[in-house]
């Protein structure tokens, strides 16, 4: 970076301060250089109106600073602005007494005079300087035991009360600040110099402080100190309370108070709202991003659901294709009853597994199916596969509400279709009415399945362990090995099967 660019950037960043200094120097330069054009002393009536307007304006600004700092504290918890606000409550009240005590106004308790109003002025400026100096040590986001609303307000009224008593009733305790016909006293000038020193020291401290919420707030604070210093310089050297320097000093004071108001406004109102707006914008952006992600997730879920549904559909078709191939191959041996029986039983088992996929697809749940609907569908399938001849078979269901996972429903269906097929084929021969009772219930994580028919039962001496046929032996293997349950069979009075198995042996996969 070249030297020219460096100075240009410095000038640009300090442009606000340059304008403030220009505003401060211009009136003094004009009055000092061209006194014949700009210096004058005003009539008391004219000056009194100007003085009252400017002082009332500064009082209103002081009370506004108090309102910002005090009433925003419940939300902002900014101890710095609270302290400044209550401090300017005291400044505003003292300035108001200074206005009432000005010469030309109706007597304020005691006769008004230039000395009386000047004493109020010195107290007001001293309190202003001390409030600004002390405020530098009050951090915005720190809790202080004494920096409380009521404590500070009580202390402010106490200070105002003491100053009121000193100036009004114990005036002799205070050195004179203005003598009619002579002008300012050394005490008044020295007091102004002390105030200027405090303000300049505060300016240096504020310049190094780190608690500002923004660069603008720092600019307003530092500029307010500069204007205050110029105001005190003017009031340290004027000779008449009605001359143009007094006018310029009051204008400086108004501008300084306005800058402090702006600084407090930024800390108490503007910055919190800007942060709120920024937070809302970030939140809105996050909501929009979440909506986008939500749509992406929904789309992904729909794709996966469609993919899984397609897998189930193709699995069902593949199973049915295997069944069709078996049926076609069995048609080459129409007279071989063993082959026909094996193919028929295998077909039932294939349809049992295929029926699970129908229920999963219909229920919009790719992990579990309702037990009642599944068993009823299987019963209707077996009835159609083995229509009873000359016998009416009634199937009674007592099934509790509940669902089973795919890994448990398929083996249960295989066991159910095996024993129901046996009942339709063998149990009700030479009977006009056959009945089947099916009960299913949930007890915690244990499922209870019971099957009874009023058929002929099992042959005498039937031993499940010695059976060579696949039917009931397969049911026992499935129940114990695949379902982790226990199966018992009784065929003495009809056929009875009891199966208990856990419902949480397998976990959801989808």
Residue of higher predicted confidence among 508 and 231: 231
pLDDT value of position 267: 58
**164-180 per-position pLDDT tens digit:** 999 999 988 989 887 87
Nearest to 426 by CA among 450, 384, 393, 397: 393
Assess whether pLDDT exceeds 70 at residue 491.
yes
pLDDT value of position 150: 84
Mean pLDDT of 217-223: 80
Mean pLDDT of 467-478: 72
User: Which token pair is 451?
Assistant: 């099957």
pLDDT value of position 398: 92
| Residues forming CATH 3.30.565.10 domain(s) in the chain | 365-502
Is pTM, for the whole model, over 0.85?
A: no
Assess whether pLDDT exceeds 90 at residue 386.
no
pLDDT value of position 130: 92
The span from the CA of 181 to the CA of 187, in Å, is 16
Give residue 3's pLDDT band: very low, low, confident or very high (50, 70, 90).
very low
The span from the CA of 240 to the CA of 183, in Å, is 7
State the sign of the Cα–Cα–Cα–Cα dihedral 118, 124, 126, 132.
negative
The span from the CA of 368 to the CA of 442, in Å, is 15
Listed in sequence order, the residues at least 6 apart from 37 whose beta carbon sits closer than 8 Å to its beta carbon are: 30
Output the CA–CA distances (angstroms, integers) from residue 398 to 265, 375, 376, 422, 449, in the order listed. Answer: 76, 11, 11, 20, 10
pLDDT value of position 323: 59
Cβ atoms 65, 90 nearer than 8 A:
no
- List, in sequence order, the alpha helices (H) in 363-405: 371-385
Q: How many residues does the structure list for the chain?
A: 510
Q: Please give the helix or strand (H or E) that residue 96 lies within, else none.
A: helix 79-100
User: Which token pair is 282?
Assistant: 């970030």
**308-326 per-position pLDDT tens digit:** 666 656 666 666 666 566 6
The span from the CA of 233 to the CA of 184, in Å, is 13
The span from the CA of 378 to the CA of 420, in Å, is 9
Assess whether pLDDT exceeds 60 at residue 33.
yes
Q: Give φ, ψ of 79 to 5 degrees.
A: -65, -30
Assess whether pLDDT exceeds 50 at residue 6.
no
Q: Give φ, ψ of 400 to 5 degrees.
A: -75, 160
The span from the CA of 485 to the CA of 415, in Å, is 12
365-502 CATH: 3.30.565.10
The span from the CA of 366 to the CA of 385, in Å, is 27
Mean pLDDT of 62-75: 82
**336-371 per-position pLDDT tens digit:** 666 766 666 676 667 666 666 666 666 666 678 888
Residue of higher predicted confidence among 418 and 270: 418
Tell how strand 446-453 and strand 495-502 pair up: antiparallel
Listed in sequence order, the residues at least 6 apart from 275 whose beta carbon sits closer than 8 Å to its beta carbon are: none
Give residue 478's pLDDT band: very low, low, confident or very high (50, 70, 90).
confident
Residues 81-104, buried b or exposed e (16+ Cβ, 10 A)? Answer: bbbbbbbbbbbbbbbbbbbbbbbb
Nearest to 158 by CA among 89, 96, 110: 89
Topology classification of domain 42-288: Rhopdopsin 7-helix transmembrane proteins (1.20.1070)
Mean pLDDT of 496-504: 90
pLDDT value of position 481: 86
| Residues forming CATH 1.20.1070 domain(s) in the chain | 42-288
Give residue 5's pLDDT band: very low, low, confident or very high (50, 70, 90).
very low
Q: Give φ, ψ of 450 to 5 degrees.
A: -130, 140
pLDDT value of position 10: 43
The span from the CA of 2 to the CA of 90, in Å, is 51
Give the chain's mean pLDDT.
80
Assess whether pLDDT exceeds 50 at residue 230.
yes
Listed in sequence order, the residues at least 6 apart from 509 whose beta carbon sits closer than 8 Å to its beta carbon are: 367, 406
Q: Work out the percent of the chain whose per-residue pLDDT is above 70.
A: 78
Q: What angle do CA 269, 270, 271 make, to 5 degrees?
A: 100
The span from the CA of 421 to the CA of 425, in Å, is 6
């Amino acid at each position: 970076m070249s030297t020219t660019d460096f100075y240009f950037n410095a000038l640009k960043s300090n442009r606000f301060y340059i304008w403030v200094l220009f505003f401060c120097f211009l009136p003094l330069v004009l009055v000092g250089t061209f006194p014949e054009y700009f210096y004058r002393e005003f009539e008391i009536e004219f000056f009194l109106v100007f003085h009252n307007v400017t002082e009332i304006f500064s009082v209103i600004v002081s009370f506004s600073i108090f309102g910002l700092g005090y009433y925003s504290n419940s939300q902002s918890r900014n101890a710095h602005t609270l302290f400044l606000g209550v401090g300017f409550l005291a400044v505003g009240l003292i300035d108001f007494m200074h206005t009432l005590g000005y010469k030309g106004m109706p007597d304020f308790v005691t006769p008004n005079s230039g000395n009386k109003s000047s004493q109020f002025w010195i107290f007001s400026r001293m309190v202003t300087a001390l409030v600004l100096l002390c405020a530098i040590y009050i951090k915005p986001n720190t809790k202080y035991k004494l920096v409380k609303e009521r404590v500070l307000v009580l202390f402010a009224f106490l200070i105002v009360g003491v100053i009121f008593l000193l100036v009004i009733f114990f005036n002799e305790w205070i050195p004179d600040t203005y003598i009619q016909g002579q002008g300012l006293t050394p005490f008044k000038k020295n007091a102004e110099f002390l105030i200027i020193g405090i303000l300049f020291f505060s300016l240096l401290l504020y310049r190094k402080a780190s608690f500002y919420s923004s660069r603008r707030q720092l600019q307003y604070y530092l500029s307010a100190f500069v204007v205050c210093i110029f105001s005190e310089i003017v009031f340290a050297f004027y000779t008449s309370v009605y001359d143009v320097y007094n006018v310029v000093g009051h204008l400086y004071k108004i501008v300084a108070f306005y800058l402090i108001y702006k600084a407090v406004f930024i800390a108490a109102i503007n910055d919190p709202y800007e942060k709120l707006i920024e937070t809302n914008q970030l939140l809105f952006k996050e909501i929009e991003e979440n909506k986008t992600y939500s749509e992406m997730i929904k789309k992904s879920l729909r794709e996966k659901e469609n993919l899984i549904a397609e897998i189930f559909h193709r699995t069902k078709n593949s199973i049915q294709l295997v069944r069709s191939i078996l049926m076609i191959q069995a048609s080459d041996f129409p007279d071989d009853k063993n082959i026909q029986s094996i193919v028929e039983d295998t077909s039932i088992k294939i349809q049992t597994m295929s029926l699970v996929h129908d229920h999963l697809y219909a229920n919009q749940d790719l992990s579990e199916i309702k037990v009642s609907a599944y068993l009823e569908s299987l019963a209707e399938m077996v009835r159609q596969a083995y229509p009873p001849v000359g016998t009416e078979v009634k199937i009674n269901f007592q099934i509790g509400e509940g669902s089973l996972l795919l890994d448990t429903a398929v083996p249960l269906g295989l066991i159910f279709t095996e024993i129901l097929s046996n009942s339709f084929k063998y149990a009700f021969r030479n009977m006009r009415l056959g009945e089947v009772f099916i009960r299913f219930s949930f007890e915690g994580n244990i499922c209870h399945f019971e099957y009874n028919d009023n058929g002929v039962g099992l042959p005498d001496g039937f031993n499940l362990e010695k059976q060579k046929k696949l039917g009931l032996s397969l049911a026992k293997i499935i129940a114990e090995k695949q379902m982790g349950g226990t199966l018992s069979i009784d065929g003495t009075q009809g056929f009875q099967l009891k199966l208990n198995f856990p419902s949480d042996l397998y976990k959801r996969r989808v």
